[in-house]
Structure 1
Amino acid sequence: MKIAIVGAGIGGLSAAVGLQRAGAEVTVFERAPEVRAGGSGLSIFANGLAALDALGLSEDFDAVTDRSVEGFAAGQRRADGRWIAQVPNDSVGALRIVDRADLHRILFGALAPGTVRTDAAAVAAATDGTLTITAGAVGTDSEAQLAAEQRFDLIIAADGLHSRIRSVVAGRTVAPRYSGHSAWRGITSVPVDLGRAAGESVGCGRRFGIAPLADGRVYWFAVANMPQDAVFADEKATVESMFAAWHRPIAELIEATPAEAVRRTPISDLSHRLARFHRGSVVLLGDAAHAMTPDLGQGGGQALEDAATLTALLAPLAERGAALRAELGEALHRYDALRRPRSQSIARKSRLMGQMFQLDSPLLARIRNAVFSVVPSRLIAAQAASVQRWSPPAPPR
Structure 2
Amino acid sequence: MGGTAVVVGGGIGGLAAAIGLHRIGWDVRVVERAGTLADAGAGISLHANGLRALDTLGVGATVRAAARPQYSGGTRTPEGDWLSRMDGVALERALSTPIVGIRRAVLHRLLREALPAECLRIGVTVSGLDRTAPDRVRVPVGDEALDADLVVAADGVGSRLRGLLSPGHPGPVYSGSTVLRAITERPLRLRGDFELTWGEGAEFGHIAFTDGRAEWHAVLTAPAGVRHADPLGMLRRRFGRWHDPIPELLDATRPEAVLHHDIHELATPLRSFTAGRVALLGDAAHAMTPNLGQGACQALEDAATLAAALAHEPSVASALARYDAERRPRSQAVARAARQAGRLGQQLSHPAAVALRNTALRLTPSRVAMRAILRHADWTPPSLG
- What is the TM-score with the length of structure 1 in the denominator? 0.90
**Residue 25 (structure 1) aligns with:** 27
Kindly indicate whether residue 161 of structure 2 is the aligned counterpart of residue 165 of structure 1. Answer: yes
CA shift for structure 1 position 237: 1.4
**Residue 311 (structure 2) aligns with:** 315
* Change over 3 Å in CA distance of 1:197–1:113 after alignment to 2: closer
**Residue 285 (structure 2) aligns with:** 289
Kindly indicate whether residue 151 of structure 2 is the aligned counterpart of residue 155 of structure 1. Answer: yes
**Residue 197 (structure 2) aligns with:** 201
Query: Residue 85 of structure 2 aligns to which amino acid in structure 1?
Result: Q
Q: How many residues align?
A: 374
Deviates more, 1:374-383 or 1:3-12: 374-383
CA shift for structure 1 position 235: 1.4
d(CA) in 2 for partners of 1:305 and 1:349?
17
CA shift for structure 1 position 92: 3.7
Contact conserved, 2:193 with 2:208, CA < 8 A, in 1? no
* Change over 3 Å in CA distance of 1:107–1:198 after alignment to 2: closer
- Where does 1:1-397 land on structure 2 (aligned, <5 Å)? 1-67=3-69, 69-70=70-71, 72-74=72-74, 76-89=75-88, 92-93=91-92, 94-127=98-131, 128=134, 129-135=136-142, 146=143, 148-196=144-192, 198-316=194-312, 327-357=315-345, 358-394=347-383
Deviations 1:347-392 (A, max 9, x none): 0010111111121211111111111111122211111111001122
Query: Residue 359 of structure 1 aligns to which amino acid in structure 2?
Result: L
Query: Residue 113 of structure 1 aligns to which amino acid in structure 2?
Result: A
CA shift for structure 1 position 170: 3.2
d(CA) in 2 for partners of 1:376 and 1:267?
31
5+ residue gaps, structure 2, are 93-97
Deviations 1:219-242 (A, max 9, x none): 111111111110210111111221
* Change over 3 Å in CA distance of 1:223–1:383 after alignment to 2: same
CA shift for structure 1 position 197: 5.7
d(CA) in 2 for partners of 1:53 and 1:132?
30
Query: Residue 365 of structure 2 aligns to which amino acid in structure 1?
Result: P
d(CA) in 2 for partners of 1:315 and 1:98?
30
Deviates more, 1:342-351 or 1:233-242: 233-242
- Secondary structure of the residue that 1:379 maps to in structure 2? helix
- What is the TM-score with the length of structure 2 in the denominator? 0.93
d(CA) in 2 for partners of 1:269 and 1:88?
30
Contact conserved, 2:19 with 2:114, CA < 8 A, in 1? yes
d(CA) in 1 for partners of 2:300 and 2:91?
19
**Residue 320 (structure 1) aligns with:** none
Contact conserved, 1:157 with 1:166, CA < 8 A, in 2? yes
CA shift for structure 1 position 107: 1.0
d(CA) in 2 for partners of 1:35 and 1:204?
36
* Change over 3 Å in CA distance of 1:395–1:14 after alignment to 2: closer
- Secondary structure of the residue that 1:104 maps to in structure 2? helix
Query: Residue 203 of structure 2 aligns to which amino acid in structure 1?
Result: R
d(CA) in 1 for partners of 2:46 and 2:88?
16
Deviations 1:92-116 (A, max 9, x none): 4321101011111111111112211
Q: Alpha carbon RMSD of aligned pairs, Å?
A: 1.7
d(CA) in 1 for partners of 2:198 and 2:26?
47
CA shift for structure 1 position 171: 4.9
**Residue 95 (structure 2) aligns with:** none
- Secondary structure of the residue that 1:182 maps to in structure 2? strand
Deviations 1:254-277 (A, max 9, x none): 111221111011111113101111
* Change over 3 Å in CA distance of 1:197–1:2 after alignment to 2: closer
d(CA) in 2 for partners of 1:276 and 1:169?
10
CA shift for structure 1 position 314: 1.6
d(CA) in 2 for partners of 1:134 and 1:213?
37
Contact conserved, 1:32 with 1:119, CA < 8 A, in 2? yes
Contact conserved, 1:90 with 1:381, CA < 8 A, in 2? no
5+ residue gaps, structure 1, are 136-145, 318-323
CA shift for structure 1 position 172: 2.2
d(CA) in 2 for partners of 1:249 and 1:329?
52
CA shift for structure 1 position 309: 1.0
Contact conserved, 1:73 with 1:86, CA < 8 A, in 2? yes
Deviations 1:290-312 (A, max 9, x none): 00000000011111111111112
Contact conserved, 1:169 with 1:276, CA < 8 A, in 2? no
Contact conserved, 1:91 with 1:380, CA < 8 A, in 2? no
Query: Residue 29 of structure 1 aligns to which amino acid in structure 2?
Result: V
Percent identity over paired residues: 39
Contact conserved, 2:139 with 2:148, CA < 8 A, in 1? no
**Residue 140 (structure 1) aligns with:** none
